[in-house]
Structure 1
Amino acid sequence: MATTTSVRPPVSTEKPSRPSKWREGLAGYVFLSPFLLGFMGITAIPMLYSLYLSFTNYELLGKTSDWIGFDNYKELFTNDLQFWHAVRVTLVYALVAVPLKLAAALGVAMLLNRERRGTGLFRGLFYLPSLLGGSVAVAIIWQAMFDRNGAFNSLLAVFGIEGKPWVNDPDWALETIILLGMWQFGAPMVIFLAGLKQVPQELYEAAAVDGASGWRRFINITLPMLSPVIFFNLVLETIHGFQGFTSAFVISGGTGGPTDSTLMYTLQLYIRAFTEFEMGSASAMAWVFLLTIGLLTMVLFSTGRMWVHYADEEG
């Protein structure tokens, strides 16, 4: 029988010509142009302009925009009591809400990690609040729930406990916002669930054979194996915690009340810019905020090397 042989076409070894490379590069920039234009017009140019405004005494409704150097920054750090009060409120919110949110997310993720009937439904229900995000509607509902005649006081009345106007009480208004932030733990919960799926079950089985308790297995196996996921959630939720605005704005009516108990940093920045119209000072606050978040992120990454363990690490 006659055999047939396939002939491969010759492979061209010629390098693309300069016009061809230029056309490929041009096509790439054309496809990138929507992002580049959006980034320049919405992010880069406004940021640079706000940096310039932070060195001026520009007022939104004023006509003057004189260069004053670092006076806005000096005023913030030396004489602006509202600035430091907003810093304190934001720190309290972030230091309390973020750990509680991550703890709730990890706890629920461990409960939903095993496959049982209805587990998928419960995962969706727990994730639902995060889909709503920091929307105005959620903040309005939350405000109504914790009002004098709200659902929370009605629940307390069933047990004979007298309620109070939680959102209007200076001692409890910030706590209601912290509770709202903790309630929206769906996003980190899903990430924790994905991390738990990657933990080898053989480790738990070996620990059980050695007689390790559930708490010991959690400390010695779950937490070390989840440390990269915990670190990821910690960075994202810390940044998100410092950026809290919508709930404080809606619940306080845009004032930071009662008695500035919910005056978070971003809300004070908004008031400074669009209520007091001091755009120069507000721009300085924005850049202080940006640099602080950047510094905090660097600190988290530098300290993360001490407690974050990756599976492919030697030793």
Structure 2
Amino acid sequence: MAERIVKEAQVPFDLGGNRFDQISTELFGDYSRSRIQSWIKEGALKVDGKVTKPKEKLFGGEIVTLDIVIEAQEDHEAQEMALDIVYEDDDILIVNKPAGLVVHPAVGNRDGTLMNAILHHAPETAHIPRAGIVHRLDKETTGLMVVAKTLIAQTDLVSQLQERSMGREYEAISIGIMTGGGMVDEPIGRHPHNRQKQAVEPVRGKNAVTHYRLVERFKNHTHIRLKLETGRTHQIRVHMAFIQYPLVGDPQYGGRLKMPKACSPELQEELRKFRRQALHAKRLELAHPVTGEWMEWEVDLPDDMKTLLAALKRDVVESGSDDSEYF
């Protein structure tokens, strides 16, 4: 099933003298610059009915027409799966992702992903790159994600991400006792020796900024809240490990499991059972891509993090010790 987009606009005279691609970006601002460029090259965007080169200058008064058929993404299967939908309208979908759910299909995970579920729930997303998914969470990270249901919504949400106006806050449980909040401003890039990992890379890495503050301190762990300025792969996990406060249960950046001294049997059991990074995308805020209304959502921590936090609190009360040494 394909979707056809047909639009027409007259070039304002005050834009005369500019290039066709620049004018088209102004006339059809609901779509990204790269998409406009590709449509011009395909001949889907025309000037007075004629195919025109992107750099050709227009005088003003011309009629620019867009007529494009967007084919559905046939390579990804729509699958009926349960989705925890927090909010939905004609333009966006807000979901609360559980642990263990992969976001995008890839080698070894061709189905059973969030994308497969979205394609079934909202078939119209088949015409949008990545089925409208504009940002991702790691497989074992839980929490809020926004999905665009139209090309216009996708373009706007991507812009909000790039402009850093979309607010994303996380909660996590880190190993070690923090004395206060702070900021990590360290570039992140692919690990030089392990292609499956990211690392702080001062030379080749991309700018990455993470803010964190304390929620509660325990004998050997800290409950923290984090806010991202950027959205690099594994950003929170890499930054927290870099400052020596890796996340509980993180299989890639946390190292081997270390039990605190004088740790209660209950807490030992909970720490052994917690086999994923203790990270949850708790809050999301953005401007609605069509109405412009500022919108905010917040979801509770998942049960496994609540259980671990409860065990950490009981361990403090029952032991009455501040010994934070590991063995």
* Structure that is richer in helix per residue: 1
> Where on the TM-score scale, by shorter chain, does this alignment land: which range?
under 0.3
Higher relative contact order structure (alpha carbons within 8 Å, sequence separation ≥ 6): 1
After TM superposition, the score normalised by the length of structure 2 is 0.25
Q: Which has the larger radius of gyration?
A: 1
After TM superposition, the score normalised by the length of structure 1 is 0.25
